[in-house]
Amino acid sequence: MSEVQEREVVIIGGGAAGLTAAMYAVRYGLNSVLLTEGAPGGQTATAATIENYPGFPDGVSGAELMARLTQQAENTGVEMESVRANAMERDGERWQLLTDGPSYSAAAVILCVGASPRRLKVPGEEELFGHGVSYCATCDGFFYRDRTIAIVGGGNTAIEEALYLADIAEKVYVIHRRDELRADAVLAQRVEDTDNLEVIWDSVVTQVNGDDLIESVTLHNQKTGEDSTLKLEGLFVSIGFEPNTEFVADLLELEDGFIVTDQRMATSQPGIFAAGDVRVTPLRQITTAVGDGAIAADSAHKYVSERR
């Protein structure tokens, strides 16, 4: 069996939350390591342009922002290992971490493993991602001023995003697979009251069409069985997120797969903290992820200091 590496704090996940938590951990003088699957950067590295992260008046590409943050973490002295965490278990007062590389033993663990927007999984979606297909209305809605767009979904988040987009775009279609919205009645009423919002009921997107940019989507009406084409310039997909929590599902209190924390980012287990998109939170953004990461490191520092 390979040697177990001992640390005061292990941070898992190299996105905005994890890189921030790791920098704070180093600055608190904690003996720590950041484990991340593949290269650091997380979801943000895949975003074409970030316009709502403070300090970049002309916007910044997601790749550049995360390259800068990674550089900053390295300059701060963060130790980074490119491994995937596969399992976690209690070992007395400490936590044992099994990865596809070495094993780790830590007094505290900060989980920053993120979540991924659920995909439609239809032809054309992946090819036109960033070319009209988006998973984040707050991030990309601004680019669709006076355009015709659609949002897929019928829950509270999708409808809140549809109402937000209706203030920007000329016309917003809501494509929903059922004959009534799952969203709260008050939101559903606002949809009815908004002139440039139109719901396309009982329908699913079966294909996203376009060469370099999205041009239309193919819709299938589940009740009538009819297929149709809807011309549009943008497609927002808002059908939920999939948190990367399978490896801690039996260990921690979860809500819809997301980790429940208090405002100090403490989870249901002593010494385990969570930050960023992976936790139950009202807003999943870079700003909130870095804030969570800083708080989680502060909490881990207090937890470890009390036990030294």
Ligand X SMILES: Cc1cc2nc3c(=O)[nH]c(=O)nc-3n(C[C@H](O)[C@H](O)[C@H](O)COP(=O)(O)OP(=O)(O)OC[C@H]3O[C@@H](n4cnc5c(N)ncnc54)[C@H](O)[C@@H]3O)c2cc1C
Catalytic residue at 91? Answer: no
Catalytic residue at 112? Answer: no
Q: Which of 58, 100, 136, 277 is catalytic?
A: 136
The residue behind tokens 């929903």 is 176
**Residue 35, Cα to own-chain centre: how many angstroms?**
18
**Residue 222: how many other CB atoms lie within 10 Å:** 14
Q: Which is nearer to ligand X, 50 or 107 (CB)?
A: 50
Q: What are phi and psi of 13, to 5 degrees?
A: 110, 120
Q: Which is nearer to ligand X, 135 or 303 (CB)?
A: 135
Q: Minimum distance between the CB of residue 34 and ligand X, rounded to whole angstroms? A: 9
**Which residue ranges make up the site for ligand X (CB under 6 A)?**
12-18, 35-38, 42-44, 46-47, 50, 52-53, 84-85, 112-114, 117, 135-136, 139, 244, 247, 276-278, 284-287, 289
Q: Which is nearer to ligand X, 50 or 200 (CB)?
A: 50
Q: Minimum distance between the CB of residue 138 and ligand X, rounded to whole angstroms? A: 7
Judge whether 259 and 279 are in contact, CB under 8 Å: yes
Q: Which is nearer to ligand X, 42 or 124 (CB)?
A: 42
**Residue 150, Cα to own-chain centre: how many angstroms?**
21
| Helix (H) or strand (E) segment spanning residue 298 | helix 286-307
Any idea what the Cα angle at residue 202 is, between residues 200 and 205, rounded to 5°? 75
Q: Which of 112, 139, 277, 292 is catalytic?
A: 139
Catalytic residue at 139? Answer: yes
Alpha-carbon distances of 81 from 12, 33, 51, 78, 244, rounded to whole Å = 10, 7, 30, 10, 18
Q: Minimum distance between the CB of residue 105 and ligand X, rounded to whole angstroms? A: 17
The beta-carbon contacts of 246-250 under 8 Å, at least 24 apart in sequence, are 247/85, 247/86, 247/87, 247/88, 248/88, 248/111, 248/272
SS3 content of the chain, % helix, strand, coil (to 5): 30, 30, 40
Judge whether 111 and 275 are in contact, CB under 8 Å: yes
Q: Minimum distance between the CB of residue 222 and ligand X, rounded to whole angstroms? A: 28
CA distance 296 to 274: 7
Q: Which of 112, 140, 277, 292 is catalytic?
A: 140
CA distance 51 to 99: 35
Q: Minimum distance between the CB of residue 132 and ligand X, rounded to whole angstroms? A: 13
The residue behind tokens 């069409």 is 209
Q: Minimum distance between the CB of residue 220 and ligand X, rounded to whole angstroms? A: 26
Locate 81 and state its tokens: 């290992």
Q: Which is nearer to ligand X, 97 or 199 (CB)?
A: 97
Q: Which is nearer to ligand X, 99 or 216 (CB)?
A: 99
Residues with a catalytic annotation lie at 136, 139-140
